[in-house]
Structure formats: C-alpha cells, structure tokens
Amino acid sequence: MTDTIPACYNVSIVNPNQFWKTDKVLKTELPILAIQIAFVAVLSRLFSIIYKPLHQTRLISQISVGFLLTPPLLGRFTAIFEFIFPVNGVVNVEVLSHIGLIYYAFLSGLEMNLNTILNVNKKAASIAIAGIVFPILVAPCLYALFRNVYGHIMMFPLEESTNNAYILWTLILTVTGFPVVAHTLSELKLLYTGLGKAALTAAMIGETYGWILFTLFVPFSINGKGAIYTVLSTITFIIVCIFVVRPLIQWFIDRKEDKDEWNDNQLLFIIMGVLACSCISDFLGAHAIVGAFVFGLILPNGKFAELVMSISDDFVGGFLVPLFFTGTGMRLMLIAIFSQESWPFTVVIILLLCALKILSTLFVTFFFGMRIRDGLTLGLILNNKGTMALIMLNIAWDRTIFSIPTYAVITSAVLLMTIVVSPIINVVYKPRQLFEQNKLKTVQKLRVDAELRFIACVHNTRQAASMINIIECFNATRVSPVHVFALYLVELTGRAAALVVAHIGKHRSQFGEQNLTRSQEELESINNAFDALGEAYDAVRVETLNVVSAYTTIHEDIYHSADEKRTSLILLPFHKQLSLEGTLEVTNVVYKDINQNVMQGAPCSVGIFVDRDFGLVPKTNLHIRVVFVGGPDDREALAIAWRMAGRSGTQLSVVRILLLGEAAKLDGLVPDEAQGILSAVIDTDRQKELDEEYISTFRLTAVNNSDSISYSEIDVHSGEDIPAVLKEIEKYGCDIYIVGQGNCRNSKVFSNLMEWCECLELGVIGDILVSNNFGSRSSVLVVQQYGYGGMVFGNNLNQKATDKGTFESVV
C-alpha cells in the first residue's frame, strides 16, 4: 500500500455558474448508484438465506458480497467489476455508505441502556474486563510475531510504521459486537438462559468499554501527537451533550409525547442532530461515528427510541450499511496470506488471535465456579465482532496504517471469530438435547409434598388476569407450594439488541413514567398483577420474565425456560377470547401457531386455558368437572383437578366415558388424512391398565374420603354419542372443564372426529366444549402430558377443519 495508484476520470461541468458544478446527476450518477445499491441489497439477502441454517448474522452476508467481487472470484472479470463499481461511481457509494454508517452508530447508541450498564453485577463486569485486558497484553506480541513470521515479500510488503498499527491491531481484538451477540443468542435460543443473560450483559459492557477505548486511542493513530487535544475536546463535547443538550432534548421530546404531536418535520429536526454531532466530532479530530453514537446515547429510551428505530432501521440496515460492509469484503485479499512460504505459521497466528478472548473468559468463569463447557460457550459468544471492529479496519486501510497482508490477517481473524460461533456452540453445547434426557416432568408424577413449578405464558394484561385466576385454583400450601414463572412473550421486530435491552433484566424503578413503549407498559402491568398474586398467597412464589423472539421460533425459548426452571407444566392462553356477545373470537391467529409448536416438543406437560369469564367465578364455591376417556393426557388432567380439589370450597365431578361396542374399536389402520393426528401409537392394553390403576386409586383415596368429590361413568357405543353425552353433562353445569388433549388415543372413533376439529391442539373433547355451537359458558383447561410425544399437526387436517358446516353438524 506504499505505492498507491490514483484513479482519474473526467467530470463534465454542465452549469459552471450554479452551486452544483457537475454533470447531470439523474442521467450519469443516479443510475450507477441505483445499480450498486440493488446489487448489494439483493445479494446480501441471498447470502442471508444461504447462511440461515448456520445462524450467521447479516454482517457476514454483506461482507460476502464484497468478497465475491475480489480478483479470485468475480473481480477477475474486469467488465463485470467495472459495470457494477466503475471508477466514477466510487465516490458516491463511499459517501452514501459512510452516511449509513453514521446513522448505524446513532441507532447503536439509541439502543444502549446506561442504567443496565451502571447496575451490572460483578460477574458480568469481570468477564467483560478480562476480555479486554488479556488481548491488550497479548495482542502486541502476536503482531510482532506475525511481522517476524511473514518476512519481507516484494509483492505484498508490510507497513513500515508500526506504532499506529500496534494500537489498532490491539483495539480490534478487544471489542465485542453487542448487536451481533444479541442476534447469535436469539438464533441459538440461549437468550433467556442463565448463560445467555450473562453473555448479553458482558457484551453490553464490552461494547461500552470498546467505545471508550475507540474515543481515547483511535485519534492517536489518526492525528499522531496532536491527538491529546482531540481527546480532551471530544471528552468536553461528550460532557456538554450529556449535561446540557440531553435535558433540553428530554424536555422537548416529553412535551411532544404528552401531546402526541409528532410529525415528519419535527422528526427530521431531531434526526438532523445526528449529522450535526457527527460533523462536530469529525471537526474535533475524532471519527464522525463518535458524535452520532453520543447523540443516540443521550436521547431518551422508550416510545421515541422505538419510533425512530421503526422509521430508520429498515432503510439504514437494509440499504446503506451493506454498502459499507461490502467494501470491507472487497479489500480482503487472501492471496496475501497464502503467497508466502510460511503461510501455515500465519494461519496459526490467526487461530491464536481467535483464542485470546476465549482463554480470558475461560479463566474468569473458572474462578466463578462455572463449568468448562459453559465458559467455552461464553467465550465463543463474546468473541463475536461487530461494526466497531470493521470500522477500525477501514480506518487502518484508508490511512494506510495496515498493509495488505496485515489487513488480510486481522480481517480473516475477525470474520473467523464471528462465523464459527454458532456452529461450534451447536456441537459443543447442544441445548436442545439437554431436556430430552431428563426424567418425566408431569403433575401426575410429582410428589404430594413437592413444589409445583410451572410457566404461565401471556401476550397481554388480559391474558395475565386469566392466568392468575386459574393459578389461584392450584391449592398452594406450605407443604406443596407453587412457584409461578410468568413469561411475557414479545414479538421480535427490527433490531434484536434494541428490544432485548428494553426488556431483559429491567426493573420497574428503571422505567420512566411517561416514556414507556407499548410493550413496556404491558410488562409493567403484568409485573404488578403477578406481584399482587405473590403477596396475596404465602405459598405462591412469582417471577416475571420476558421473552423477546420471533413468533415462528418463540416456542424454543419457552422450551429452554421450562427446562432451566425445572417446571412440570406450561400454561398457554387460547388464541380466542370471550366477546361481549358471549362467543369466542380470534384475537391473533399467530397465538394458535405458538400453542401448537409448544405442544409438539415441550419438555414438560402443557395446558391450554380457554377463559370464559373465569375471574367472575367465586373461588370459595368452585365446581370442576373432568371428562375422563383414557390415556396419559386424561390422567394428567385428573391429577391437576385432584390437586385443585384440595382447596376449600371446591367441588370436583369426574365423569368417565366408557367406550363400548363400535366405539371401542382400535384404529389399527390410520387413514392418510389422519396420519398427522397421532405422533406415537402406544400400547393400548398397558394404557388401559394404567387408567384402571389411577382411577381405582382416585376413587379409593379421594371419592371415598370427601363429600365434595364425585365419580360417575357413562357408556358410549358410537362416535355420534359423544357430542350427545357432552350435551347431557353440560346440563348439570360447572365452572371449568379439565380434559385431556387425547394425543396417542388409539381409537377409531376419536380419529374420525379429530378430522373435523377446528382446533386440533384442544383434541376432540376440548374442541367440542370450546365450540360456540356447543353453547357452554364454562371455561376449559386442556392438558397434554409429557412423555408420550407431542402433537403433529398435518395440513390435511387443517384443510378439513375449515369445513365448519360439517363440524357443526357433528356438534
């Protein structure tokens, strides 16, 4: 890079007397820029799809586009390269990419939470500091070793001045990309485990320290000895922003939010502050992104931050920033590594560079008593590099601080650190297999004196109230207490890090009164409701947690939460709620998909609660009815109802349906349409023995010793009799039905009826009871027992379920 070759091109001056002294922009400049943006955006999305099974971030996809244009690949075809990136189009794309980088730094500052950083625990802070100090001590030695090993090659000479190279080389290895870590944890479904929370907090601290080091030391590599004035003036600028500008902006934003007066012009006025702060920091000698980051940091979190990110994130992250990262990939010349004889030693140095933060994290986690596997996983996660590392790489390239070989080595190490994280963790940690090897976790198998631990999932405050009403019925006592983990499920939209920071590890004292987002307001209400439950009952412990994830994969977060908390039951809200007319209406069809996904592979038993104004029922005079047909799900339903019956003032009626004659036929040959119904065919005779044994124990222990518990049997000879029997049972009335889902029932009658169910996750009995045509006003709890395989929902069944006319005739 010591011999720079300038690229010159002609510019036609069309209007010499006007402000814009250039050629016709719409005809010459804009088409080239549009082609470049389209090429980068389309290919980066394509690479994202290709890398999705490997859980790679968008950053890797965008760098891959640039690497595709290097000489070993498409770059060797001069015509293609000059068509996409002609010489006269380089300036425009560079300017646009740096504008995108400035706004990206602004969004990064906007999503950071200083309260979380200042109130961090000792463990996370120690991990983050060790991940910075150890690379600072060892990285210069590896740089000197690299220069010694690489030698002097005429084709790719090393840089002559090494002082600035030492600084940037070391800083690049110390930083951690917090948004990349949040994305990785979310993709691997480790975000809400203890390991994930520790990694996320440590990454946030590491990112903060990285910005501090960037502000203090990068000016010395740019401005040399005069950088001391740059650092002092930049620190003064930051202090003025925090203590002078921030209160003014806070007052202005609060006033606008109170009156809800935001319009595009006022938002533009706020956004223009990004460019103003960037210009100031650039004028002071620091990098422009420092001012943008500080401006984002001083803006209040909450509604305004959510509004700004929702408006700008798609454009900035989808079109502008990829241009910058693509340039990083275009500069990566791997031939500089493999063109010399000692390239195996260079590869070893790259691997050593990747190991620095992992070794430091392993040491600290061992000191805190963590397992080696968890320490290795944590080190790998914190080894993720993000935007700041790439920014420093580009500074080193633009200022000719790094030569081509040095740039190739450190960039290869940065990319390797980020790429290998997800695949290695999937091999080493294997979180999905952990709960598959545990013992059965069901209410039926629970000891009488054991603590009942279960998860209650909610999407809003109304569902939280419904869950609290059913939780109160679980008869919590000092002998057998109840531990409730309330999971507030939030859909992940936009930047993962922003939503995660807004919810994870957040205490109510950190919320502002007037600056809460809608989801934060929901969380505050849900927190208060469940805290009131814990205060009302001495034997009930409550913890409110948050899960921010895409709805398509949020069930995996629920799995891991249930496994980590060692729960016996997961309670889910039904996707319909009671309307003013007294019928059940769909609130969000996505909730149905979540429930079905949870039932397919949950690590414990699952219950779906259908609320029909259950909160209006006096708990001192509660009437529960169990419809028992047979099978593991029905036994689990009876176990839950049996526990509830221990509460004073509760009546329990168990109605057992005996299948006789035609109704007792086994479903030996399952039709093609019904193959999605049964996920496992179990030993029917063995299940009948277990049913008889459990019913006998129940009658002997409960029915004979309590006047509030009754038991009866009804014979059913055909499938048409089941709706009629349920109609007859409904005449006696009850407050809540508790029934088994019926998965694994090897019955021809129920297989035929299942084909016409509207809600497969409820099973035949539950679906009939919940149907508006059935006319019941009772709430319903449908239970699936863990240990016999989850439901598998087939497409054919869903198609038949849409035939409501046929289903109504059955009911």
> Long-range contacts made by residues 770-773, C-beta under 8 angstroms, separation at least 24?
770/574, 770/576, 770/584, 770/610, 771/807, 771/811, 772/583, 772/584, 773/808, 773/811
Label the pairing between strands 576-578 and 584-586.
Answer: antiparallel
Count the Cβ atoms, other than its own, within 10 Å of residue 705: 8
Round to whole Å and give the CA distance between 373 and 568.
27
Angle, to 10 degrees, between the axis of helix 303-315 and the axis of helix 246-259?
100
pLDDT at 810: 39
What are the sequence ranges of the domains in the chain?
Answer: 26-429, 432-505+518-616, 621-665+676-787
Residue whose pair of structure tokens reads 């049972």 in the numeric block: 729
Q: Which three-class secondary structure string do you get for 597-651? A: HHHHHCCCEEEEEECCCHHHCCHHHEEEEEEECCCHHHHHHHHHHHHHCCCCCEE
488's tokens: 């507030």
Using DSSP's 3-state secondary structure scheme, residue 481 falls into coil
**pLDDT at site 667:** 65
Q: Can you tell me the distance from the alpha carbon of 527 to that of 461, in angstroms, rounded to the nearest whole number?
A: 9
Instruction: Note the pLDDT of residue 811.
Output: 43
pLDDT of residue 637: 94
Q: What is the pLDDT of residue 678?
A: 39
The verdict on pTM exceeding 0.85 is no
Show the tokens assigned to 685: 């005779």
The whole-number pLDDT of residue 322 equals 86
End-to-end CA distance of the chain: 80
Q: Residue 467, exposed/middle/buried by CB under 10 A (0-12, 13-18, 19+)?
A: buried
Give the burial class of 239: count Cβ atoms within 10 A of its Cβ; 0-12 exposed, 13-18 middle, 19 or more buried: exposed
How many Å apart are CA 277 and CA 684, to the nearest integer? 73
Q: Which residue has the tokens 């990004």?
A: 274
Options 1.10.1660.10, 3.40.50.2300, 1.20.1250.20, 1.20.1530.20; CATH of 26-429 = 1.20.1530.20
Cβ atoms within 10 A of the Cβ of 66, count? 24
Phi, psi of 651 (to 5 degrees): -105, 140
> 669 φ, ψ to 5°?
-110, 100
Q: Which residue has tokens 């193959």?
A: 675
The DSSP secondary-structure symbol of 666 reads: B
> Which residues of the chain register pLDDT less than 50?
1-3, 431-439, 502-503, 505-514, 669-681, 795-811
Query: Quick one: pLDDT at residue 781?
Result: 95
Q: Which CATH class is domain 432-505+518-616?
A: alpha beta
Query: C-alpha 769: how far from its chain's center?
Result: 35
CA–CA dist 552, 348 (Å, integer): 40
Please give, one letter per residue, the 3-state secondary structure of 491-504.
ECCCCHHHHHHHHC
* pLDDT score, position 27: 72
Same CATH fold assignment for domains 432-505+518-616 and 621-665+676-787: yes
Output DSSP code: residue 786. T
- Fold (CATH) for 621-665+676-787: Rossmann fold (3.40.50)
- In 10 A of CB 781, how many CB atoms? 25
